[in-house]
A and B are shown apart, each in its own frame.
Chain A
Amino acid sequence: DIQMTQSPSSLSASVGDRVTITCRANQSISSYLNWYQQKPGKAPKLLIYAASSLQSGVPSRFSGSGSGTDFTLTISSLQPEDCATYYCQQSYSTPYTFGQGTKLEIK
């Protein structure tokens, strides 16, 4: 299985801040990387697919970049509703493994 590691595990930021979450794969996965947002008690929501493509309906303040083994999710201007846990997932080979999650809190 491909292992995905996210950093940090948690972070706290203020409204309006630029926030970056990192995801690293233990082998090259090209651009087969998705990002999800999960709010407490809710199912995950797809934000970014193919490393950098924005899912329909997702605010443009979210963006993704990277290829190979290193990827980032960036929120350009943090909003209160962005308080959630974020997961990366590789879709390069099954089983499609997830990172351990990054819990984002608003200061």
Chain B
Amino acid sequence: QVQLQESGPGLVKPSQTLSLTCTVSGGSISSAGYYWSWIRQPAGKGLEWIGRIGRFYAGGSTTYSPSLKSRVTISVDTSKNQFSLELSSVTAADTAVYYCARESFPAAGHDASDIWGQGTMVTVSS
């Protein structure tokens, strides 16, 4: 059974870069047909889709939310079965629980996040 686990610093200083890693276990991150995504949730608020990576068989493909695109990089390390998130120039507004998730296609053409990590809290503060 595929499981995801986020890891990384829980505290980041303003203007620095937030870096998180998601380790995939129980399956290969290179398996065709999946995207691997990051989603965040400020305390007491809703969910925000950050971006995703996938299609490694075709050279890799990343898509980012336009609101974060200038600051976000999602990458993959297939040898470690991990994918990562980097968010630069962080401010207090980036304080949130960050989730990694697998997007699958349970119906043709329809994708959904069917497996999630437990989430990791990241606080931006000096």
Residues of A within 8 A of B (CB): 1, 31-32, 34, 36, 42-46, 49-50, 53, 55, 87, 89, 91, 94-101
Interface size class of B (residues with CB under 8 A): 20 to 34
Q: A94 and B114 in contact (CB under 8 A), knowing A43-B99, A87-B47?
A: no
Q: Which of these, B49, B67, B116, contacts A98 with CB under 8 Å?
A: B49
- Smallest beta-carbon distance A91→chain B, Å: 5
**Bound CA span A49–B106, Å:** 8
- Smallest beta-carbon distance B12→chain A, Å: 21
- Smallest beta-carbon distance B114→chain A, Å: 5
- Smallest beta-carbon distance B37→chain A, Å: 8
Evaluate contact between B117 and A91: CB separation under 8 angstroms.
no
Residues of B within 8 A of A (CB): 46-49, 51-52, 63-67, 99, 101, 106-107, 110-114, 116-119
Interface hub of A34, A46, A96 (most chain B Cβ within 10 A): A96
Evaluate contact between A34 and B46: CB separation under 8 angstroms.
no
Evaluate contact between B66 and A46: CB separation under 8 angstroms.
no
